[in-house]
Structure 1
Amino acid sequence: MKKNLFALLALLWVSVGSASAQKLALVDMEYILGKMPAYEMMNRQLEDLSKKWQQEVSGQEAEAQALYKKYQSDLVFLSAEQKKMREEEIVTTEKAAYELKRKYFGPEGELMKRRESLMKPIQDEVWKSLKELALAQGYHVIIDKASSKIVYADPSVDVSAIVLQKMGFGK
């Protein structure tokens, strides 16, 4: 990953630097976030919530497992209709456990939504500070060295419109 970052920096330095002297900065977002009490508090809240929800899911899964074990032990004594009813009950309980897990921990789940809502004010605070720093110090690009992503770019270095124009899609 460091090679990718340095390759990106070298490319930016050559391409942007050749046009005029552009200022570039690196930040370590993991380090910054790790020093923010609000971020630590958010992580604790999410961890507590995750544990609570996991207990709920585990309880549902344990219930399905108990139903299955009971079904296995009673199997020889059950009529065909009773077997079918028990099997449906087990499947319904397993589906409920799966849906509960998806509701809380899925990609669109409650944990992800909560993380996004709690993280937004923290991200806004960091973004505001980065933008203020970039404007005050004259940085054109700020890159997060932890993720190799550009976290700030001065709009004056965006050449998207020029590229589109050269391709015949511009004005």
Structure 2
Amino acid sequence: MTHVARYLLALLLLGAFVPAWGQKFGYIDTEFIMGKMPEYAQAQLELGRLTETWQREIEAQKKDLDKLYRTYQAEEVVLTEAMKKKRQDEILKKEQDIKAYEAKQFGYEGQLFKKRVELNKPAQDKIFDAVEKVVKARKLDFMFDRNGDLTMLYASPTHDYTEFVLEELGLGSPTRNQPGTKGPVKTVKPPQTPNASADPAFESDSGTPDPVTGSKTRSAKAGKADAGGKP
């Protein structure tokens, strides 16, 4: 739950005993607001640079793994069983190291996740401060985030205070209460770590992907029928 959503939920609980007909509420589109903030755009650029750097490092490790295995294959016939086992252990260790590094950078609560929280916090804090000012100025009891954890099945545009928050941030537009497009959200897909080539004598902890079997198609050939014959 975001910082803004927690604040809104707290307001909702505090106002639980206030008569519903006396309450004033509104909502905002935080994704639309963040998409207009220079701080958020800068954060996405920084996240993109970090992602590319980490992906290049992983790709370099993959190449080292591939080179290590190819060397093993070329020299396998002259290696003793003990030497084979040692080489296999080195390859497996390298493969595990790549997976561990990938999880550290791109995994759940990894470096990318932590960096995203850190870089987006200034923009989120500014939105929170602007929301407080709008709530006080407009004498609202509740302010919801249409992109937050509280599901809104329907919301009248008359309760949309997105533009008022943008004005507090110095990003206002003459046209108010218009549905905004979503802000750009960068999705990072972690690179996959390849397994070593399939080898009956090589044991891998990650297994070898099954080959993809393409479906066979049949072509029908139309024949010509005789004048009095059946087609």
CA–CA distance in structure 2, aligned partners of residues 138 and 148 of structure 1: 23
1:77 Cα deviation after fit = 2.3
The one-letter code of the counterpart of 1:41 is Q
1:79 aligned onto 2:80: yes
Q: Name 2:140's counterpart in structure 1.
A: 139
Q: Report what 2:111 is aligned to.
A: 110
> What is the CA-CA distance between 1:99 and the residue it aligns to?
1.5
Once the two structures are superposed, residues 123-158 of structure 1 have per-residue CA deviations (whole angstroms, 9 ceiling, x without a partner) of 1111010111111112222222234538xxxxxxxx
User: Percent same amino acid among aligned pairs?
Assistant: 33
Shift of 1:18: 5.4
Return the structure number with greater strand share.
1
**Superposed CA RMSD:** 2.2
Q: Is the 8 A contact 1:22 1:139 kept in 2?
A: yes
Letter in 2 for 1:76: V
Rg (Cα) greater in structure: 2
- Corresponding residue for residue 30 of structure 2: 29
CA contact (8 A) 1:16 1:22 kept: no
**CA distance in 1 between partners of 2:59 and 2:101 (Å):** 10
78-87 or 68-77, which deviates more = 68-77
CA shift for structure 1 position 41: 0.5
Partner of 1:99: 100
Contact 2:47 2:112 in 1 (8 A): yes
TM value normalised by structure 1: 0.72
The list of structure 1 runs, each at least 4 consecutive aligned residues, that deviate by more than 4 angstroms after superposition, is 15-18
Matched pairs, number: 137
Of 89-98 and 101-110, the range deviating more from structure 2: 101-110
Instruction: Report if aligned partners of 2:28, 2:146 keep a CA contact under 8 Å in 1.
Output: yes
The answer for the alignment partner of 1:156 in structure 2 is: none
SS in structure 2 at match of 1:120: helix
Structure 1: stretches of 5+ with no match in the other structure: 1-11, 151-171
State how far apart, in whole Å, the 2-side matches of 1:30 and 1:120 are: 14
Counterpart of 1:120 in structure 2 is: 121
Match in the other structure for 1:61:
62
Q: Which amino acid letter does the alignment assign opposite residue 130 of structure 2?
A: S
Q: CA offsets per residue over residues 21-68 of structure 1, 9 Å max, x none?
A: 211212111110000011000000001111001110121122112212
Q: 1:32 to 1:138 in 2, by over 3 A?
A: same
Q: Higher helix proportion, which one?
A: 1
- Counterpart residue number, 1:39: 40
3-state DSSP of counterpart to 1:139: coil
- Give the aligned residue type for 2:56: Q
Separation in 1, partners of 2:26, 2:46: 32
Secondary structure in structure 1 of the residue aligned to 2:22: coil
In structure 2, runs of 5+ residues without a counterpart are: 1-11, 152-231
CA separation of 1:27 and 1:38: change in aligned 2, threshold 3 A? same
Name the SS for the 1:143 alignment partner.
Answer: strand
- State the TM-score, normalized to the length of structure 2: 0.54
Give 1:154's aligned residue. none
Q: 8 Å contact 2:39–2:122 — kept in the other structure?
A: no
Say whether the 8 Å CA contact 1:28–1:146 is kept in structure 2: yes
